[in-house]
């Protein structure tokens, strides 16, 4: 089972925004407006992407998935308040 640490950011139309947010919260940790992060297996990531694909308009919306196989390789610097402390989700 391969796990990936993900940062997901999105820009979707207002009418689909809440649905996308609800789906992402089922899999990842909310860290900023329109940004989530956390650890998923490759299978769970595929499931998440299929669910999101059913919701978005691929000609108007965008969701970006950045991934690393080890979260130790991902540097993060924060200015201001950190909205959420990420935890591991499988």
Asked whether the predicted pLDDT for residue 89 surpasses 70, the reply is no
Q: pLDDT digits over 15-74, tens only?
A: 999 999 999 999 999 999 999 999 999 999 999 999 999 999 999 999 999 998 877 777
Domain span at residue 55 reads 3-71
88 in any annotated domain: no
82 in any annotated domain: no
- Please tell me the predicted confidence (pLDDT) of residue 86: 52
85 in any annotated domain: no
Question: Considering its fold, how many domains does the chain have in total?
Answer: 1
What secondary structure, in 3-state letters, does the chain show?
CCEEEEEEEEECCHHHHHHHHHHHHCCCEEEECCEEEEEEEHHHHHHHHHHHHCCCCCCCCEEEEEEECCHHHCCCCCCCCCCCCCCCCC
- Please tell me the predicted confidence (pLDDT) of residue 29: 96
25 in any annotated domain: yes
Instruction: Report the alpha-carbon angle 63-64-68, nearest 5.
Output: 145
81 in any annotated domain: no
87 in any annotated domain: no
Kindly report the CATH number assigned to the domain that includes residue 14: 3.30.70.240
């Amino acid at each position: 089972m391969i796990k990936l640490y993900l940062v997901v950011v999105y820009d979707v139309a207002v009418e689909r925004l809440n649905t996308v947010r609800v789906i992402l919260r089922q899999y990842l940790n909310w860290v900023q407006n329109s940004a989530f992060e956390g650890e998923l297996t490759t299978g769970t990531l595929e499931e998440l992407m299929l669910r999101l694909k059913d919701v978005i308009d691929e000609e108007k919306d965008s969701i970006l998935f950045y991934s690393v196989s080890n979260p130790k390789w991902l540097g993060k610097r924060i200015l201001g308040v950190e909205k959420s402390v990420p935890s591991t989700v499988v």
